[in-house]
C-alpha cells in the first residue's frame, strides 16, 4: 500500500512531510507535492506531519479525491525528488481547506 497526496496540498505545498520520509518518496512540482507509489513503504510518518491533512493511505482517500492516485503516480515520474524541507507557498494558509483546487494544479 502507498500513501497519496490529495487536493488540499495544491497551493499550500508544506514540506514537513518530506523531512520525516525515510525513503525520499516525495516529488515536488510548482504548487503541489506527490508521493511515488513505487518508493513509499507505508510507514505513515508523513500523515501526521502534514499541517493541512492532505495525505491519506490509498485505501482511505476521501470520496471524490481518487483521481489523486493516478496524479501522484504520473507526476512522481516527471518531478524531481525532494529530500529536505523548503518554505511553503506564500499564501498557503489562505488556500488550506479551499475546495475544488484541482484546476489550479500546475504540471
The ranges assigned to domains in the chain are 3-82
Q: Provide the mean pLDDT of the chain.
A: 97
Over 90: is that where the pLDDT of 1 sits?
no
Q: What is the pTM of this model?
A: 0.96
State pLDDT tens for residues 40-54: 999 999 999 999 999
Spatial separation of the C-alpha atoms in residues 74 and 68, rounded to whole Å: 10
Q: Would you tell me how many other CB atoms lie within 10 Å of the CB of residue 28?
A: 18
| Grid cell locating 33 | 507535492
Cα angle 4, 65, 9 (rounded to 5 degrees) comes to 60
Give percent above pLDDT 90 in the chain: 99
CATH code for residues 3-82:
3.30.70.20
**Taking 90 as the threshold, does the pLDDT of residue 15 lie above it?**
yes
Amino acid at each position: 500500500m502507498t500513501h497519496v497526496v490529495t487536493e488540499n496540498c495544491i497551493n499550500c505545498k508544506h514540506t514537513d512531510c518530506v523531512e520525516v520520509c525515510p525513503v525520499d518518496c516525495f516529488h515536488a512540482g510548482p504548487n503541489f507535492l506527490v508521493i511515488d507509489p513505487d518508493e513509499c513503504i507505508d510507514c505513515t510518518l508523513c500523515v501526521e506531519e502534514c499541517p493541512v491533512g492532505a495525505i491519506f493511505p490509498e485505501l482511505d482517500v476521501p470520496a471524490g479525491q481518487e483521481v489523486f492516485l493516478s496524479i501522484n503516480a504520473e507526476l512522481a515520474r516527471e518531478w524531481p525528488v525532494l529530500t529536505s524541507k523548503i518554505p511553503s507557498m506564500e499564501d498557503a494558509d489562505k488556500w488550506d481547506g479551499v475546495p475544488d483546487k484541482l484546476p489550479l494544479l500546475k504540471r
